[in-house]
Amino acid sequence: MAMLPFLMLDDLRRIFIKVFRKKTVVKDQPISETDQISRSEFLVKAGLVAAAVPLTSLSWGIISGAYDYQIRKVNLVLPNLPKAFDGITMAQISDIHSGSFYNKTAVKGGVELLLAEKPDFVFFTGDLVNNLTNEVRDYQDIFSKVKAPLGVYSSLGNHDYGDYYFGKESSPAKVKNLKDMVDVHKIMGYDLLMNAHRRLKVDGEEIGILGIENWGMGRFPKYGKMELAVQNTDDLPVKLLLSHDPSHWRGEVLQKYPQIDAMFSGHTHGMQFGVRLKEYQWSPVQYIYKEWAGLYQEQKQQLYVNVGYGFLGYPGRVGVLPEITVFTLKRA
């Protein structure tokens, strides 16, 4: 497709030459066929170069981008944070999509990068697989290595329920697939929060970690029940929410749950294509999701969208590389 404008331009050039050939011939000096060929060759070669740019980018995204894990460090300021938590670190990974992997060594390398940061606790915000729980079988031991002194907490993403394989209606096979998913989180040592909360205690002070099942706007399932997750948390000065789909923040959290200080999501992948610089980022996914990568704030509530550890569909990444986020919690 990238060559099409150049080929059309060459066709127009040929037509122009044929129509006006007689007018452009000088006596005893016809137009040089060599000149015609060289111009045509130039246009075709220019078209080939233009076509090669996206092809090369996509190929490089497979060769290099798919497993080029990036550590992103973020200072997360929480005004009501207890003193005991000031300076504590938390890591987030999201959207593993283990059914897409084809390089165990590289996947293990990403986990080692995460562990080298020595976070005090870890969030995994959903989509462990593409469709079926058994996709994680070959990578279960690798992700079981993700440990932290204050625990690893997880939530489910839209791909973890088997909806795209079994359909949205319940069946014995689909129920078993979800049960297996819950069991895998336990085996890996992840504390799976399904519309529930935990109290994280340090030196006698506490904050809340809440997690809900997938809740997304539009065609995505709304299994999450915030009213259950927030029960008995009123006394906690800070509440951190794991919710896979960032559209949940604007769709429900901002409207109904002002007590949520920060929400952590994934889901968008940054469309695995775009530009992410320190002061600028762009991806086509921004025309679908207002919040698609990085840290957002509205009044006193914050949202962080992680662009994912794995990939889905296109087996690579261009510009928007796989992410491991490391937060330092800070008092205002």
Name the residue ranges covered by the structural domains of the chain: 4-62, 69-330
Query: Of 45-49, 80-84, 170-174, 267-271, where does mean pLDDT reach its minimum?
Result: 45-49
The percentage of the chain sitting over the pLDDT mark of 90, rounded to a whole number, equals: 79
Whole-number pLDDT of residue 3: 40
Per-residue pLDDT band for 40 (boundaries 50, 70, 90) equals low
- Written as six digits, the tokens of 143 are 């992700």
- Does domain 69-330 sit in CATH 3.60.21.10? yes
Higher-pLDDT residue of 263 and 38 is 263
Is the confidence at residue 278, as pLDDT, over 50?
yes
Indicate the DSSP class of residue 31: P
Summarize pLDDT for 225-261 with one digit per residue, the tens.
Answer: 999 999 999 999 999 999 999 999 999 999 999 999 9
Which residues lie across from 198 on neighbouring strands?
209
Neighbour-count burial for 291-311, b at 16+ CB within 10 Å, e otherwise? bbbbbbeeeebbbbbbbbbbb
Residue 238: CB atoms within 10 Å: 21
pTM value?
Answer: 0.84
The percentage of the chain sitting over the pLDDT mark of 70, rounded to a whole number, equals: 81
- Written as six digits, the tokens of 300 are 């006193």
Residue with tokens 């895998």: 184
Q: How far apart are CA 78 and CA 149, in angstroms?
A: 21
Is the confidence at residue 189, as pLDDT, over 70?
yes
